Chain A
């Protein structure tokens, strides 16, 4: 018998045994999970020993339940005066993390797939050959981007390019994005797909919750390059917490959304060593990212030579 006791003393699974209305054995794993002392719990009635009426009930009457106790999640199941306990905190945390990632992926796929559906619908209608080819090209680009996104790959850009080059793709994807004001004279060499992902999220938010005119702009501050989307929406109560996954602004009530967009924007910016931010500037709500790189004087000059392209130029 003592061999059994020794084995249970070493087990990671918690065990509590009841005899004649009192707890007569509680192994160290169970004591650890409950936060009790073995010596003080043994010989006591169930609630006194376990300090939790649900655990006591499971020990006395059987059944199974998940309980939050002492900052842990315990899976507890009992029958005939026996109670088993397993600490599932870690697996539960992992499960929640996976659930969050699943939501993020859904969020990332929803907008481009809707855009693709729109392009395909457009292709069904009569349209000039040049426009048809352009729509097909955009649809193919979008599908390729989705494939890259699913494969977790980015397309490195070795050459400098202007953010406004993304204007046509954005305009096809998001109704209303055709009226954006672009002021993005600074060439960048960041991954196009990622910058596009940032813009899709920021512009979509501005179209949903903000008010026109909506501007997309790049500017430099303290030697760093900023990419911003500004709109004339009402001030928000909090410009920090909207970056927390699942958290939406006060004005988001009644508008569909998952509250994940800004969290994703921040994640991309941080992967580059920058960050995302939001602020009220005058009459505008400004949402942007700091792209982590120093902007040299030479690059500033190059920006001037690149000239300012507007959405009109890109159509």
Chain B
């Protein structure tokens, strides 16, 4: 019984990491679509979202069936609860990456307003957060989970920074308003994406420590 449970838990972890890796790829593709005006990459980010959604359902079904059939307790149950809660956040993170890709497609039709340095930095931080998330789960690394929370503060700071910058653009030259608003939506998507990853990190913290205050 224990052996079956362990192998099921390993499979769930493997699938969850696969989903994390797919979302990371979505973020990277969407970012390249945005920064390099690469339409193909942006479209690939949107297509990948379907696979993320499918995986969410698959993992959810596996988790529920393990809970029903194996009756896990203590740490194992905490892990499954963590995955179940984190799935929704991870799926939403993928949605936000797809939103960025959609905006990148629209922005690719015209000359860029500026070199999107801050947005590039936000995407890099998010990729880092997803790498840390994979590490935290694969290696049960509490420090990695903690680092995700800290990196999200950077994402929030960058969001503030770009919001101020875009406002200045709009005030100085009203012709940039439409593009600036789209860019602001991109920044907002990144910021929300970061928040979902932060939620997952808090759940991982709970799984590893049994405490809810991450």
Contacts and interface: CB of A to CB of B under 8 A. Distances in A.
Contact of B115 (A56, A70, A235, A241): A241
A286 B18 CA distance: 53
B135 interface: yes
A48 B10 contact: yes
20 contacts: A35-B135, A40-B139, A41-B138, A46-B14, A47-B14, A47-B17, A48-B14, A51-B21, A51-B131, A51-B134, A51-B138, A53-B21, A53-B22, A237-B113, A241-B114, A246-B115, A247-B114, A250-B176, A253-B111, A254-B111
Interface of B: 10-11, 13-15, 17-18, 20-22, 24-25, 28, 110-111, 113-115, 131, 134-135, 138-139, 169, 172-173, 175-176
A110 interface: no
B138 A52 contact: no
Contacts of A256: none
Contacts of B169: 237-238
A54 interface: yes
A244 interface: yes
Contact of B11 (A35, A45, A51, A238): A45
Interface string A240-269: 010010111010111000000000000000
Contacts of A134: none
A65 to B, nearest CB: 11
Nearest to B170: A237
Chain B interface secondary structure, helix, strand, loop or mixed?
helix
Nearest to A56: B18
A68 interface: yes
Interface of A: 35-37, 40-41, 44-49, 51-54, 56, 68-70, 235, 237-238, 241, 244, 246-248, 250, 252-254
Contacts of A235: 172-173
Contacts of A248: 111
A252 B11 CA distance: 53
B114 A36 contact: no
B13 A250 contact: no
B180 to A, nearest CB: 10
Nearest to B15: A47
Contacts of A40: 138-139
B5 to A, nearest CB: 16
A251 to B, nearest CB: 9
Contacts of A44: 10, 14, 138
Contacts of B14: 44-48
A248 to B, nearest CB: 7
A267 B113 CA distance: 24
Contacts of B111: 248, 252-254
B139 A37 contact: yes
A30 to B, nearest CB: 15
B115 A244 contact: yes
A93 to B, nearest CB: 16
Contacts of B18: 47, 53, 56
Contacts of A53: 18, 21-22, 25
Contacts of B115: 241, 244, 246-247
Given A238-B114, A238-B169, 13 more contacts: A35-B131, A36-B139, A44-B14, A44-B138, A48-B13, A48-B138, A51-B21, A51-B138, A52-B134, A70-B131, A235-B172, A237-B169, A237-B176
